[in-house]
Amino acid sequence: MPSADDVQDALATVQDPEIHRPITELGMVKSVEILADGRVEVAVYLTVSGCPMRETIISRVETAVAALPGVTSVGVELDVMSDTQRKELASHLRGGQAEREVPFAKPGSLTRVYAVASGKGGVGKSSVTVNLAAAMVGQGLKVGVVDADIYGHSVPRMLGVEGKPTQVENMIMPPSALGVKVISIGMFTPGNAPVVWRGPMLHRALQQFLADVYWGDLDVLLLDLPPGTGDIAISVAQLVPNAEILVVTTPQQAAAEVAERAGTIAVETRQTIAGVIENMAGLPCPHCGEMVDVFGSGGGQRVADGLSAATGTKVPLLGSIPIDTRLREGGDTGRPVVVDAPDSPAAVALDAVAAKLGGRERGLSGLQLGLTPLRNF
């Protein structure tokens, strides 16, 4: 017969599918009863009554306990945490810290934060973001994505996220797909309804995404910003002053000029520019393999050179991503090209950029250099 300690050890291997921590650590195990015939009855607390992952929790508990020698069958009974228990859980997950604090802005944070920006729409910024996230997960990193493009949110579809966030007290548990944790305003709006908000509400939404969502221990957090230098870009500088800007452009001069303008916001906000990514950098001919410069060439390097001159630091061109229909198809189906076609030229280029960003040493941000970010715009 298994002992109570044996069952507790088995339950310690069961992770909550949303919080990704052992249910024993989260106080979710209500009771364990071992019967004479080898049957084990386990009572488990759910964080909320309508928990969408209840069946997953039951299955994981049954599998873990049934593997113990002497267990003939496993029964799982579900209960719901009280308000007091949920508050204790939220406090535990925050490490005893007060609410409303953005963990990524703390001086001791080990998470690299990249704000993915562009001067104009249509350059593939969101496609680059989700593929970098998926590529970094493939390289062994823990990654989260904030869909900060409130008006034009598209990240959930591009990553194939189907789940909805779960709220525990004032904390939000983000759904995940392909190993990437994701939060987007699209998860809170009905259907394809538009978001009609002004600046203060945009700032509040971003603050909630950063402070109220339980991200856990991330290696990298990517923020998919809206095009241009509007409210969200300013809010990012205020809420996460150590975020590094990643500029996405296409090769043509018109797009490069606008992208350079978007990146120069770092001068005003005292942020570091991580680098430039040139998207849609030529189309390989399907017949001869020769590269066709559909949108011109050299725009990415021009942006990198212009930003280097504007900031007085070396801003690198991190990579050039060729045009690939599979990149577009992956955005429609929720299967990034780095996952479904890892050997394609676009996926290889994206994977190389992800390796540079995921493995590079953290650059000194304006905050670390002792500069005061502009907080009153």
For 2-16, b/e burial (b = at least 16 CB within 10 A) is beeebbeebbeebbb
Two tokens, residue 79: 């209960």
Show the CA angle centred on residue 340, arms to residues 337 and 346, nearest 5°. 30
Q: Which residues are annotated as a binding site for ATP?
A: 119-126
Q: Is the four-CA dihedral 361, 364, 367, 368 of positive or negative sign?
A: positive
Q: For the segment 85-132, what is each residue's pLDDT rounded down to a tens digit?
A: 887 887 787 666 555 678 888 888 899 999 998 887 888 899 999 999
What pLDDT, in 10s, does the model give residues 204-245? Answer: 888 888 988 889 889 999 999 988 777 888 888 888 888 999
Domains and CATH numbers, the chain: 4-81 (3.30.300.130), 103-359 (3.40.50.300)
Q: Mean pLDDT across the stretch 194-201?
A: 68
Neighbours of 330 (CB within 10 A): 27
Identity at 244, one-letter amino acid code: E
- pTM of the complete model: 0.73
pLDDT tens, position by position, 319-339: 999 988 888 888 889 999 999
Give CA–CA dist 175/134, Å, rounded.
Answer: 15
Contact criterion met (CB below 8 Å) for 143 and 133? yes
Considering only 110-114, 170-174, 253-257, which range has the smallest mean pLDDT? 253-257
Separation between Cα atoms, residue 17 and residue 53, nearest integer Å: 7
Residue numbers in the known binding site are: 119-126
Judged against a pLDDT cut of 80, whether residue 342 lies above it is answered with yes
- The Cα 82–Cα 46 span in angstroms is 10
Q: Which amino acid is at 105?
A: A
Which residues does 226 contact at the CB level (< 8 Å), separation at least 6? Answer: 148, 149, 150, 151, 152, 232, 233
| Per-residue confidence (pLDDT) for residue 376, from 0 to 100 | 30
| CB neighbours of residue 289 within 10 Å | 7
Place of tokens 């280097």: 308
